[in-house]
Structure 1
Amino acid sequence: MLSLLSYFKDDEEGTGYRQHGPITRIYYYIVIIGAGGTGGYAIQRITKMMSAFSNVNSFLLIADPDTVEEKNLLRQPFIQQDIGLKKADVLAKRYGSTYGLKIGSYSESYIESVESLEKLFSLTDYRHETGQFIQKVLIGAVDNDYTRNVMNDFFNKTDDLIYIDAGIEGVFVPSQDTTIEKWTSEERLDHLESGYSGQVVVGLKKHGKIALPPINGVYPIDANDVIPPSHNCGVEPYQPQRMIANEMAAFQISTILNELFSENIILIHYADFNARTGNCRPVYVDETMVGV
C-alpha cells in the first residue's frame, strides 16, 4: 500500500510542498484522454464516485474530439440522440447534470503533444487552498500507441503525476476484404477467443522521482505506431474491441480511483485481466515500488 499523504510528512528535500503549511488533504485534478468504449464507461463510474465521495475535492476534464456515430451505439455509452455530437461534450454535460458536478470537456483536437496536455492541466489557480495539494491524475483510455507515447513523455517531464493507462486486446479479424463465411475454422476460433484480455497500469511520480513505473516501464509501447490519430480520421480500425473488455477495463480504472478517493492510497501497480473468464491478476505496489 502506498499513501499519498506520506509524501507530505516532511520537506527535507526542499520540494516546496509545505510552503503554505502542512498538507492534510488532496484535490484530485483528473484528465481522461478518450471518451469511447473504455473511457466512456470509466467516466460513468468516476462521476458517480465524485458525487458519492462528496467530502473529496475533485475535478474531471474529458478530452476527445471524436463525434458520436451510429456504430458507436453498439459498445459505447451513447444513445441515438447523441449522433453527430462530440463525445466529450455529451458525456461532460450528461454526467455533470446528473450528479450536479462541474465537468470540463475538450473536443477541439486530438492530444498529440506534451504541450497540449500541459494546457489541460493548467486550470488550477482558483483551486489552491491552504493545506491542500492539487494532485494531477492522467487517465489514458486510447487505442493507439502514438497518444500513449505522448502521455508517457508528459509523465517523464512532469514532477508530480499519477498516470493510469488502460489497454485492451483488439478482436482478431483475418482480413477486411473477406466475410466471416470465408474464414477458415482456425480463423473463426481465433476471432471468437480474441479481444478479451487487457491491462491497467498505474504510474506514479513524486518529488520528480518515479515511484511506480508507467505503462512503458511495464509493457513497452510499440514505437512503430507513429501515425497521429488525427491522420487516421475516417479509417476503420482493423481490430475492433469487445464491449465487455471495455467495461472491465473501466471497472479496473474505477477501483484505483475508489482507493484514491476513500483513503488517498494506491494498492495496485498494474493488473492483467480477461473479460471472458472474469479473471484479474493484480500486482501490488509493495512488489514493484522503486523509491520515493
Structure 2
Amino acid sequence: MKKVHFTDSYLINPQHPVTVHLIGAGGTGSQVLEALARMDAALIRLGHPGLYVTVFDADEVSESNIGRQLFSPADIGLNKAICLVTRTNQFFGLDWEAVPEMYSDDAPSANITISCVDNVKSRLVIYQHLKQVNHISDVYESPLYWLDFGNTQQTGQVILGTVKPIKQPKKAKYPTQATLPTLCDMFDLTQVDEHNSGPSCSVTEALRKQDLFINSTLAQNGCALLWKLFREAKLEHHGVFLNLSTFKTNPIAVGA
C-alpha cells in the first residue's frame, strides 16, 4: 500500500513568509530562483504569506556561464547571487537577500534549504549543519525540509528530505510517513567520483559536463515537487530520477 507524507502544518498556514535558503546560483540554481519567484507570486494570490529567499553563492559570472545559465554578457564579473537576486527583486517587486559567500556551517537556518551545488563537500556541510540546528524552536528559522538537486551530463536527481520528523495526522486514508530520507540518508556521498565537478573554462567544456537543458529540466521537476508540498499539502513521491538522453523520469515513492 502506498504511503503519504503530509506537509508540516507551518508551511500551509504560516504567520510569516516561509524562509528558504537557496545554495548555489549557477546552472540549476538560477533556474530554481526564477521558479521560486513565480511560486511566491502564486502563493500570495492564494492568501499565503509567500516565501522569503536568501541566495548563497561566492562565484562571479564568467563567459562560460552565458547561455547555459541565466546571465547576460553584461553580468560578467558580477557576483552570481547579487546579480540574480537584484534582477529578481526588481522584476517581481521583492526584497529577497543575496549572500555573496559560500554557505558555511555557521549560517542561519531556514524552513526549507535548497542545494544546487556541484560537489560532495558542499552537500556534506549542508547535511551536518542541518543535523546540528534541527532543534531550533523559533518557527521562522526552524529547518523542516532539504531539497537537493544534482546532475551529470544528461542525468540527474531531485530529492526532498525532512530535517526532522514531521507530525502527521492521526487519521488518514493511507499510511503516513513522518520522515523522508535526504540525499545523504539515501547515498554514501563519500563514494562519489567528483573528478568532473567544478567550474568550466569555456562553453564547450561546460557542455561536455552538463547538457544544455539538464539544469532547467531538473529545476522544473524539483520545483513542481515543492509546489505540491504547498498546494496539495501532501506528497506521494519525494523525488525523481531524470535521464534526458532517454527522456525518462522515475519518481521516488514515499516509503520506498
TM over 0.5: yes
User: Matches of 2:20 and 2:234 in 1, distance apart?
Assistant: 16
- The root-mean-square deviation of aligned C-alpha atoms, in Å, is 2.9
1:51 aligns with 2:33: no
Shift of 1:4: 2.3
Normalised TM-score (structure 1): 0.69
Partner of 1:72: 65
- AA aligned to 2:211 is R
Shift of 1:279: 1.5
Percent pairwise identity = 26
User: Which one has more relative contact order, counting CA pairs under 8 Å at least 6 apart?
Assistant: 2
Change (3 A) 1:165 1:233: closer
1:33-44 alignment, distance < 5 Å? 33-44=23-34
Change (3 A) 1:197 1:63: same
Change (3 A) 1:234 1:262: closer
User: Matches of 1:226 and 1:248 in 2, distance apart?
Assistant: 22
Shift of 1:202: 0.8
- Structure 1 gaps of 5+ residues are 9-22, 122-134, 170-194
Partner of 1:173: none
Normalised TM-score (structure 2): 0.78
- Structure 2 gaps of 5+ residues are 135-142, 168-177
Instruction: Give the paired residue count.
Output: 226
User: Matches of 2:53 and 2:236 in 1, distance apart?
Assistant: 22
Shift of 1:207: 5.0
1:145-224 alignment, distance < 5 Å? 145-159=120-134, 160-169=143-152, 195-206=153-164, 211-222=179-190
Name the structure with the higher helix share. 1
Change (3 A) 1:252 1:158: farther
Shift of 1:114: 1.6
Residue 189 of structure 2: SS of its match in structure 1? coil
Residue 111 of structure 2: SS of its match in structure 1? strand
1:278 aligns with 2:247: yes
Residue 213 of structure 1: SS of its match in structure 2? coil
Change (3 A) 1:267 1:208: closer
Larger Rg: 1
Partner of 2:211: 242
User: Matches of 1:271 and 1:223 in 2, distance apart?
Assistant: 21
Shift of 1:280: 0.9
Partner of 1:2: 5
User: Matches of 1:234 and 1:277 in 2, distance apart?
Assistant: 25
Partner of 1:184: none
User: Matches of 1:258 and 1:234 in 2, distance apart?
Assistant: 32
User: Matches of 1:30 and 1:70 in 2, distance apart?
Assistant: 29
User: Matches of 1:82 and 1:235 in 2, distance apart?
Assistant: 16
User: Matches of 1:143 and 1:41 in 2, distance apart?
Assistant: 15
Shift of 1:137: 0.3
Shift of 1:200: 0.7
User: Matches of 1:24 and 1:223 in 2, distance apart?
Assistant: 37
